[in-house]
Amino acid sequence: MARAFLRSLYDFQSSFPSPFSHRRIPRSARRDIEWWSMFAVNWNGIHFIAPERAIIDVFTDASGTKGIGGILGSDWFSICTPRRSTWHS
């Protein structure tokens, strides 16, 4: 079973009654700190959890006689199509 190696650190952090109190680091928290130290040095750049992908809205339209246009986010374009590029059936 996988674990995030954070639970002991969260538990340790929440055990402080004030920001100035002193505590010994428990063995479980120390092991998690050691794991993170080793992981940071040996990390190969691959994420365990994929980052959230951006949502991009793209809209396009075309007219057989006038031209084409589109919107990408807040940018837009429009182009008049020359008669020679008009499609005929």
pLDDT in tens, 11-57: 998 888 888 888 899 999 999 999 999 888 888 888 777 778 888 89
Tell me: do 63 and 89 sit in the same domain: yes
Domain membership of residue 47 (yes or no) is: no
In this structure, is residue 62 part of a structural domain?
yes
> Would 79 be classed as within a structural domain?
yes
Tell whether 70 is covered by a domain: yes
Strand pairing category for 58-62 and 67-72? antiparallel
Q: Is residue 49 part of a domain?
A: no
In a domain, 13, yes or no: yes
Asked if 82 and 60 sit in the same domain, the reply is: yes
β-strands 58-62, 75-80: how paired? unpaired
Of 32-36, 45-49, 61-65, 76-80, give the lowest mean pLDDT range. Answer: 45-49
Contact 79, 68 (CB under 8 A): yes
CA atoms within 13 A on the CB side of 23: 17
Q: What pLDDT score was predicted for residue 86?
A: 55
The tally of domains found in the chain comes to 2
Domain co-membership, 38 together with 58: no
Q: Which of 45, 71, 47 is nearest to 58 (CA)?
A: 71
Q: Residue 71 domain-assigned? A: yes
pLDDT at 88: 61
Q: Is residue 31 part of a domain?
A: yes
Range of the domain at 34: 7-42
Handedness of CA 76, 82, 85, 86 (dihedral sign): positive
Nearest to 57 by CA among 74, 39, 73: 73
The whole-number pLDDT of residue 1 equals 41
